[in-house]
Homo-oligomer: A and B are copies of this chain.
Amino acid sequence: MPETHWLNDDEMAAWQAFLTAGALLNRRIEEQLKDESGLSHLQYEVLVRLGAAEGGRLRMTELAAVVVTSKSGLTYQVTQLEKAGLVRRSSCRDDVRGVYAVLTDEGRRRLEAAAPGHVGVVRAHLVDVLTPDQLAAVKEGLGEVARRLGG
C-alpha cells in the first residue's frame, strides 16, 4: 500500500473551513426557516426546485437527485408537504411507474413568502462575507467538485 498523501496545513484549513462553514450555515438556515416559515431546509429546497421547473413539477427521482437526498427520504418529505397542501402527487402519462411532485398554488405562495428571509440569511452569512474573488472561486471550484460528484 502506498504512503498516505496527507493534507498540508492549508489543505487541512480549507477542508475544515468548508466543513464547519457548511454545518454552521445550515444550522442558521434551518433555524430561520423553521421559525419564519415552518419549513425545514430540505422542504424549502424541494419547493424551490419545483417552483423553478417546467409546469412546477418534477419526477420524484429527478427531484431527489437535485436536492441530494435519498429516494426514501424524498418520499417521506413529499408526503409531509402533501399533508401540508404545498405539493401534490400526480401520475405520469408516459411511465406508469412514474410520479410527479407538483407545486400547488398554496405551495408557491409559501415559497414566495419564505424566500426573502431565506435569501437574507444566505446573503448575510455567506454571500456578503465573501470577496468577489472568493465568490467566484467558490462558484467555479465547488461547482467543479459538485459536477464531478455527479451533481
Contact = CB atoms under 8 A, between A and B. Distances in A.
Contacts of A119: 4-7
Task: Give the number of copies in the complex.
Answer: 2
Interface stretch (A21-29, A80-88, A89-97, A101-109): A21-29
Given A140-B134, A141-B138, A149-B28, A127 B17 contact: no
**Majority secondary structure, A binding face:** helix
A89 to B, nearest CB: 24
15 contacts: A4-B116, A4-B119, A4-B120, A5-B119, A7-B123, A7-B127, A10-B139, A17-B141, A17-B142, A21-B142, A129-B148, A130-B141, A130-B145, A134-B138, A134-B141
Contacts of A120: 4-5
Contact of A20 (B15, B68, B135): B68
Contacts of A148: 125, 129
Contacts of A25: 145, 149
A109 to B, nearest CB: 16
Interface of A: 4-7, 10-11, 13-15, 17-18, 20-25, 27-28, 68, 115-116, 119-120, 122-123, 125-127, 129-131, 133-146, 148-151
A133 B17 CA distance: 15
Contacts of A127: 7, 11, 14-15
Nearest to A122: B15
B137 A125 contact: no
